[in-house]
Structure 1
Amino acid sequence: MNTEAEVREEMGYSESNSHRLFSVEEYYTSYGKIPKLCKFLGNNIIILWLIVKANKDMHQLVYQKMDCPELLQEAVELLKETSGVGEDVSATIHDSKIKLNEICRVIKEVYEVVAKGICMLGKLCMHERFLSLKV
């Protein structure tokens, strides 16, 4: 966990900027500094939040009835993505060394699995709600 002083020093923020970043009030750093901030914090939660927020605001969720073939197709696509992770991990560890480009490829594959899984979960939950309302 990084302290306000550590973030201020690393990012070159003034005391008031770093204080606003850690306050409960809305404050956003400049877009150009977000990647550096994420790197310093050791995660990309800020970027992921921006993506989720943008997608939510851009796309209204429209319920589409899920049938058996669609459920099977969703599962197949998720399993394909998951096997891609296995293939990349296998390629990464073949020489008993993990290289930067290899781990980046594995991370990308895992993100794709997570995205596909969340999408499938959303569809399943919407269908569950639809079925529960019919009862």
Structure 2
Amino acid sequence: MAERPRRWPAAVGGAIAAAFTLLLLAAVIFVAETVLLGGTTRQWCEESPTFEVGGKVATRCVRERVDTNLVASDVHDIEFFLTFDVPPPSTRFQPEPWPLAESDVEITFTDGEVTVGNARSMSSTYPDEVYEDTR
């Protein structure tokens, strides 16, 4: 009786090659997403909701979006929006340009306004009317 050739070494080699190919493909996709579609988003909200809109108590929030990738221009915006405990869950408004692409953004909520600044003493103060923009 003739001895049959062993096929398991080829099967193991094929499985290893397939796993390596999938790992390489995942790495390429991760790098492509980071370079082409990457960016960061940070958000600050006031601690105690004292802002009232239409009889509903809301929390004022500021969201910073930094799009630094090959597809989009290096856009750095801040968005003002409100969150409600009752529907609608959140309302977003038109982004405002913010020229400082830094990690040291400071947000200060005060009565009637929100101040966005940085550690270099550059700041911009926005009145609460930015939250009432109904675009």
Larger-gyration structure (1/2): 2
Tell me: higher relative CO, structure 1 or 2? Use CA pairs within 8 A at least 6 residues apart.
1
Greater fraction helix: 1
TM-score by length of 1: 0.21
Greater fraction strand: 2
